[in-house]
Amino acid sequence: MKRDRNDEAGQRRIQSIEVGFKVIRVMEAAESPMPLRDIAAAAGMPPSKAHLYLVSFIREGLARQDPVTGHYGLGSFAIQLGHSALRQLDVVDMSREELTSLQQATGFASYLSLWGNRGPGIVSKVDGHRQGSLAVRLGYVLPLAASATGQVFLAYLPESETGPILREELEGRGRDDPAWKDRYDPIDAGSLEAVTEEVRERGFAMSTNNINANFAAMAAPVFDHTGRILATVTLLGPDKAVTGQRRKATASALLEVTDRLSARLGYARNREAAHAK
């Protein structure tokens, strides 16, 4: 079987489809329907060639032409494809490989948390090499004010969702453990706005010695296709290791993982100015 020499994966490809998808990607990135000349220029091909692809895409519902302006945009079948892809995604399954790679890159425990009716709960985890006797457990619900995970959810979820849980937490209520209030040093409500603003500015949260002595956590958000926070990925390790010289590299590794997960869920950062509250 003759293989395409330009194919690094060693698999045969249909070049015309790849060229045509340059046109699709241009329309996908646009904020509104575009004239033919602009699509062609952005796709790096003559207008006559771009037009041939557009005619075929319109026939299949992948593109449409505005009858008034003549501009081109994505069609109804493109929307159906997007919805079908989203239905097939499961962030927990999707995150397992990423959590493992993150743990291997940093040596720290990594875990995924989802928002529930009691706050952020751990749903998937990979234990770290540097955690000593500390191990997070599946199902554990983390505090909002004191944990890096909770602070990320506070930064990106509306107050209508976080407020009731946060108020109970700051008042020492809502936990079965009577010693809950003494198990961590919560940030006072007056300081939370500054904390969440910092989270939104740098893209991740950090907490040190808040829940467990001599341990620090770093957490970042995972967004869905609408720009809403869907989950957080958190790293947990010895405080000096997390906050020391490797802090920048650790944060970069974490953000690379959450960016990849968000992209796979359909989140387009350049379109979302409002993923913060």
Residue ranges and CATH numbers for the domains of the chain are 15-87 (1.10.10.10), 91-271 (3.30.450.40)
Residue 156 has pLDDT above 80, yes or no: yes
Residue 213 has a pLDDT of 63
Find how far residue 16's CA is from the centre of its chain.
32
Of 9-13, 153-157, 258-262, minimum mean pLDDT range: 9-13
pLDDT, one tens digit per residue, over 157-179 is: 999 999 888 888 877 654 554 44
Backbone angles phi, psi at 260, to 5 degrees: -65, -45
% of residues, the chain, pLDDT over 90: 40
pLDDT of residue 10: 54
119 three-class SS: strand
Q: pLDDT at residue 187 above 80?
A: no
Angle formed by the axes of helices 36-43 and 15-29, nearest 10°: 120
Amino acid at 61: G
Of 4-18, 119-133, 138-152, 263-277, the least confident: 263-277
Picking from 110, 118, 114, the residue whose alpha carbon sits closest to that of residue 217 is 110
**Coil, strand or helix at 270:** helix
On the question of pLDDT at 217 being above 90, the answer is no
User: What's residue 178's pLDDT?
Assistant: 46
- Cβ atoms 100, 233 nearer than 8 A: no
Please list, in sequence order, all residues whose beta carbon lies within 8 angstroms of the beta carbon of residue 244, skipping any fewer than 6 positions away: none
Instruction: Quote the CA–CA distance of 274 and 277 in Å, as a whole number.
Output: 7
Q: Which of 85, 105, 125, 74 is CA-nearest to residue 267?
A: 85
**pLDDT the model gives residue 211:** 64
pLDDT value of position 37:
97
Over residues 107-129, the mean pLDDT reads: 86
**Cβ(117)–Cβ(158) under 8 Å?**
no
Per-residue model confidence (pLDDT) at position 184: 47
Q: Report d(CA 230, CA 99) in Å as an integer.
A: 16
Residue labelled with tokens 């979820």: 157
Model pLDDT, residue 71: 97
Over residues 261-275, the mean pLDDT reads 69
Mean per-residue pLDDT, 258-267: 92
- HSE-CB for 3 with a 13 A CA cutoff: 7
Of 57, 87, 84, residue with least CA distance to 72: 57
Could you give the percent of the chain with pLDDT greater than 70?
Answer: 78
Identify which of 185, 190, 112 has the alpha carbon closest to the alpha carbon of residue 153.
112
Phi (first) and psi of residue 274, to 5 degrees: -115, 30
Q: Mean pLDDT, to the nearest integer, of 186-196?
A: 72
Q: Give CA–CA dist 86/266, Å, rounded.
A: 8
Phi and psi dihedrals of 231, rounded to 5? Answer: -160, 170
Task: Tell if the pTM clears 0.95, that is, is over it.
Answer: no
Q: What is the mean pLDDT of the chain?
A: 82
More confident residue, 135 or 100: 100
